[in-house]
Structure 1
Amino acid sequence: MLVRVLTALIALLLFIPLVLYGSWPLELVMVALAALGMTEFLQMKKTPIRSMPAIISIIGAGAIVMGDRLLPFLGDFGMVKIILSVIVLLFIYSLGDLDFTTHEIGATVLMLSYIGVGFYSFVALRNYSLPHLGLILLVIWSTDSGAYLIGRKFGKRKLSPSISPNKTIEGSVGGTVLSAVISGVFLIYYPLFDSYLLTLIFMIFLSVMGQAGDLIESKIKREFNTKDSGHLLPGHGGILDRFDSTLLVLNILFIIGIL
């Protein structure tokens, strides 16, 4: 527990100034996180990191994050072109490596798109508005903290025992309630949208989706029979463990066009 708290504090001391400053330092860090997240997934699925598919997909994930900067070279639909380029390169590679199947290509492209778009959206949201990003991070962090603390004290009924046995319904509800309270207070002082009520309802929706992102990551780890996606962050696991909720929420924001 102490290691987990210390790691979180150190990470926040480094992360918050970076988010406040934004610009290219934040983008470079998001590129690195996307590359590390993709590396963790490849390691879970036992793809050699020095192999050509790994190199292509890691570069692809980072390139998606830098999509806006690559637009002058790629033209319209730059992000789509990056993903399609990865698909084409992986298919061509598979002609010389019959063990690298279409199933492998599908899983690799799926994850690099999910990870890349998630971290790209983090940068895009910061460039759009620091208060908007701050609210989203508050929703995710308060949900996570509330679910953990309330679940430990009051949790009895399992939320999804086949995927994540430690998560409880009480913790899930408690995390969403805490998130709603914090979001409600934030929106009083920083009314980011016209309708207070609709914004609050949307934040509650994102709180629930953040928990779904946590479960998605747990499901992936269970499929590969591993406890953590990595060991970079003591007490927290890897990058995918730490950003599991954030990635799904940011992908949803990207899909609905808020960014």
Structure 2
Amino acid sequence: MKQRVITAIVALIIFIPIIVYGGGLIEFAAAVLGIVAMDEFYKMKYDTPHYGQEAVAILAMLALILPWKQWFPILPSPLFLYYIFIMILMAMMVFDQKDFHIDSLGFPVFTSLYLGIGFHSFIAARFTSLIVLLFALFIVWSTDIGAYMIGRKIGKHKLAPSISPNKTVEGAIGGIVCAVVVSALYLWKFGAHFPYSMPMMLIFVVIFSIAGQLGDLVESSYKRFYGVKDSGKILPGHGGILDRFDSLLFVFPMMYILGLFTM
């Protein structure tokens, strides 16, 4: 517990100035987080390094995360830039047919798309406003706290026992309720910064809370499949970047889909 608290304090000391300042700093932070998360994926999947494949997957991911078109107008759109790196991955199959084939190609394509869109949405939320970004963070944090407290106190019915044995249906509902309460207080103060009415926003909060919990379960399924407890060790007591951002990688794209910010 002491290690978890120390790590959380240090992480917040680093993280808070980044999200407050925004700009190029948050773009750099998102790129670094994406690279570390990609490395965690590869270390979970492979016992030996696959540097070439991982490097191209990282470049494909960065094509989606960073605003290359804004910096270099002559470059193609991010989607086409992304596809160029996917074509490079496909070409690599020609020269490494034993270890890299059409089935294994799906892994770098999936991870680069998942992390690329997720962390780009993180940047886009901040570029819209700090208030929008904090809204997502408060939803995820309050959902986690509510689910843990309610689940520990009255949880009886397992939510997904084969993936995450400690999570309960009661905890999941408690997390949603906690997120709605916290969000209502937040929207009472900052509701004017959002394009929808309070009732509609609270309906969205339920959707975001469910999405965040689903993101957590999805990441747990990766770890269960690969037989690891944590995705990484970069955050002592907390695991890896994927362990900390699993919910947000689902919530931010959902917020974009529902029109709370633009890309």
Q: Do both share a fold (TM > 0.5)?
A: yes
SS of alignment partner, residue 189 of structure 1: helix
Aligned CA-pair RMSD: 1.7
TM norm structure 1: 0.93
Query: Do the aligned residues in 1 keep the contact of 2:19 with 2:126 (CA within 8 Å)?
Result: yes
Q: Which runs of 5+ in 1 are unaligned?
A: none
Alpha-carbon displacement from aligned partner over 1:112-165 (angstroms, at most 9, x marks no partner): 111111111111110111111111111011111221222223222211001111
SS of alignment partner, residue 73 of structure 1: coil
**d(CA) in 1 for partners of 2:106, 2:198:** 41
Q: How many pairs align?
A: 257
Q: Amino acid of the residue matched to residue 57 of structure 1?
A: A
Query: Do the aligned residues in 1 keep the contact of 2:208 with 2:255 (CA within 8 Å)?
Result: no
Closer, same or farther: CA 256–199 of 1 in aligned 2, 3 Å: closer
SS of alignment partner, residue 73 of structure 2: helix
SS of alignment partner, residue 74 of structure 1: coil
Q: Which runs of 5+ in 2 are unaligned?
A: none
Closer, same or farther: CA 120–49 of 1 in aligned 2, 3 Å: farther
Closer, same or farther: CA 42–254 of 1 in aligned 2, 3 Å: farther
**d(CA) in 2 for partners of 1:157, 1:72:** 54
SS of alignment partner, residue 229 of structure 1: coil
- Structure 2 residue aligned with 1:142: 142
SS of alignment partner, residue 235 of structure 1: coil
Q: Amino acid of the residue matched to residue 58 of structure 1?
A: I
Closer, same or farther: CA 104–21 of 1 in aligned 2, 3 Å: same
1:38 equivalent to 2:30? Answer no
TM norm structure 2: 0.92
The residue correspondences of 1:175-254 to structure 2 (distance < 5 A) are: 175-191=175-191, 192-254=194-256
**d(CA) in 2 for partners of 1:73, 1:146:** 48
**d(CA) in 2 for partners of 1:225, 1:194:** 43
SS of alignment partner, residue 166 of structure 2: strand
Q: Amino acid of the residue matched to residue 87 of structure 1?
A: I
Q: Amino acid of the residue matched to residue 127 of structure 2?
A: N
Aligned residues with identical type, % of pairs: 42
Q: Amino acid of the residue matched to residue 65 of structure 1?
A: I
SS of alignment partner, residue 235 of structure 2: coil
- Structure 1 residue aligned with 2:52: 52
Alpha-carbon displacement from aligned partner over 1:69-122 (angstroms, at most 9, x marks no partner): 4561324xx221132112101111111111202121112111111111111111
**d(CA) in 2 for partners of 1:255, 1:194:** 14
- Structure 2 residue aligned with 1:10: 10
Closer, same or farther: CA 53–47 of 1 in aligned 2, 3 Å: farther
- Structure 1 residue aligned with 2:82: 83
